[in-house]
Chains A and B, each alone.
Chain A
Amino acid sequence: MSTTQSPTIGDDTIPSFRKDGNRPPWMEKPSPVVQAVKFLFLGIAVLLVIIPFWSVIATSLADQSTINASGGGMVMWPGSGANVDAYTAVLSGGVVTRAVAISIGITVVGTLLSLAATAGLAYWLSRPGALGAKPMLMLVLGAILFAPGLIPSYLVVKELSLLDSLWSLILPVLVNAFNVIVMRAFFQELPKELFESAAIDGVGAATTLFRIVLPLSKAVLAVIGLFYAVAYWNAFFNALLYIQSSDKWPMALVLRTYVVNQTTIGGEQAAGEVLPPQLPLQMAILVIAVVPILLVYPFIQRHFAKGVMIGAVKG
């Protein structure tokens, strides 16, 4: 059964009414002035998004002479001395390397656990007449509207002895209520006949979930998994609150310390070793933090608009 046959979440992702791009006959041609203003506006918006990425990548590859020639700041072109020294320096052991490993670990473990917990909860809530599903659904919806306070959340994590444990970056955000609602809506749209024939054949709830529901829901699992993965990779708030020892820092805290607060990098380097210039190092850390997002982004963005709408309509 291919995903194209199932009700994928990916169809008509981006809402639009002019499918072919042609103007309907009644619509007049816009005046050149209006067109120019529109394109200027959108062009500036797009450049404002692209330029920062471009110059960060360029600076991370530049050598010191190029940076000095530009006045010591950011460059738009890495120049003739372009190299990847900054990347080899930050990834050859030390604080940044460890943070990358920790962030990857949290992202992989967290995403898998989140998907399992979310799918199970959504499946429970999606079956008609399931035991206790109604009060649980109210709790899920309530969790979308009200966020618990910062201090009480901290106390719960503390009472569970999760402070300064990497689990504090996963368990408090294990289930996102909004994702549960989206997945539940998706499960509810699966053809009822599937469940009926499964029931007639005497298939139990677990087998139905693993053999029928999940294989038909690959698209929604992929999207929600990517949302979780991005959130785990970006995790900053919980890390700031709960992680104390610097050897457990995820990427976000390293970014804050070395890039935002500009702490000098290389404290762990052996004495006498020549450090690469700081600015490319900082930019390399920034690029390393951004690249995973850029890599998964095309997959997410194909699907998310529909996901947002399901949540908005059925929530």
Chain B
Amino acid sequence: MRTQPAGTNSPEAAKPAVTASRGTTARRGGSTPRRPRRPLSRDKLLLVALGLPGGIALIVFQYLPLLGNVIAFKDYQPYLSISESPWVGFSNFSFLWDGNPDFLNALWNTVVLTLIQTVLVFPVPLVLALVLNSLAGERLKRTLQSILYLPHFLSWVIVVALFQQMLGNAGMLNTFLVQNDLPIVQIIGVPELFKALLTSQVIWKDAGWGTIIFLAAISRVDQEQYEAAAVDGAGSWRRMWHITLPALRGLIILLLILRLGSSLSVGFEQIVLQQGPVGLQASEVLDTWVYNNGILGGAWGTSAAAGLIKGLVGVLLVIGANKLAHAFGERGVYEK
């Protein structure tokens, strides 16, 4: 850990000198008397200059777009600039109250998908982590983890293509059925099965990856608790139920809160890739509605308004869920 280039001063000798020079720059208000301010050293500016390119990129592409939300209150025309487009007040938000059927359909699909995925997708990594953790062989466990993490690194295009090749009409499954003189099953492109297909794709891609955080939390549980419980006669199920799961409770609540915050964003890439054959009725969600309606359809103002509402609701959901977590005595995402 403590590597030191040969020939430098020992840390004991170095420390006082450095802390003394730091003291002048450390900004501590209050009772300590202020020393005369030193001019900014070239070195301090150089440090900022090293970090600034990254900082600017972050501000331009993460925070500057927040300003772009003004077009939610304007009649934006691509050939006019944002400032030249006329103000229209809240009329872009009319989809909220005039019962726009496309919007309501997208909202409905989003909420249903979020509910399905929270109930069906969320527990899978937990179960997988518990099973993996119960394996005794370290090497076997690592091999399995390596294989199960892999799909996380594939893009949605690849995942969707793989699913088509496996479950499509000419895919693996149906080829196998045809060879055995069985009727083929249509899975891809069937509106009724679309939500199930999306859910299974999410599980395939990220269930393995999701185990990491649970396994890490399990590994932090005090081993003596298990030993004591075993000595008292608790079997492996009881140890899991009374030690492992309670130890994971804070983490589970934290992950659920984070999930709630993003509950209005369900897989834009994944859905946009598969909308064609299924139709909008079954597949449109808020994000794809914003894309189809705004960028493809030219309804910039309405789409920006929908995006803005979506963002605000997401923030409110996180804050609300966090309050709820605090009320139950949990830590949540941030402290009170």
Contacts and interface: CB of A to CB of B under 8 A. Distances in A.
Contacts, number: 354
A271 interface: no
Contacts of A7: 1
Interface stretch (B19-27, B31-39, B191-199): B19-27
Interface string A35-57: 00010011001101111110110
A117 interface: yes
Interface in A1-36: 1, 5-7, 14-24, 26-28, 30
Dominant SS among interface residues on chain A: helix
Given A124-B47, A153-B65, A196-B14, A230 B153 contact: yes
Interface stretch (B93-101, B107-115, B164-172, B324-332): B164-172
A50 B58 contact: no
Contacts of B40: 131
B51 to A, nearest CB: 3
Interface string B121-155: 00000001001111111110110111111110111
B158 to A, nearest CB: 6
A261 B273 CA distance: 8
A177 B22 contact: no
Given A51-B172, A146-B315, 14 more contacts: A49-B147, A49-B208, A76-B172, A121-B55, A142-B62, A148-B66, A149-B65, A149-B290, A177-B58, A180-B54, A193-B14, A230-B153, A261-B276, A305-B212
Interface of B: 1-5, 8-9, 11, 14-15, 17-18, 21-22, 25-27, 40, 42-48, 50-55, 57-69, 71, 78, 82, 128, 131-139, 141-142, 144-151, 153-158, 160-166, 170-172, 174-175, 178-179, 204, 207-208, 212-213, 215-216, 218-221, 223, 226-227, 230-231, 235-236, 261, 265, 268-269, 272-274, 276, 287, 290-291, 294-295, 300, 303-304, 307-308, 310-311, 314-315, 318
24 contacts: A5-B1, A17-B219, A26-B230, A45-B208, A52-B172, A56-B165, A73-B171, A74-B166, A75-B175, A121-B53, A121-B55, A124-B50, A129-B25, A131-B48, A151-B294, A154-B295, A172-B61, A174-B61, A175-B54, A193-B14, A196-B11, A197-B8, A286-B161, A309-B216
Give 10 nearest A-B pairs by CB, closest first. Answer: A124-B51, A152-B68, A121-B54, A234-B155, A73-B175, A149-B307, A117-B54, A152-B65, A15-B219, A148-B65
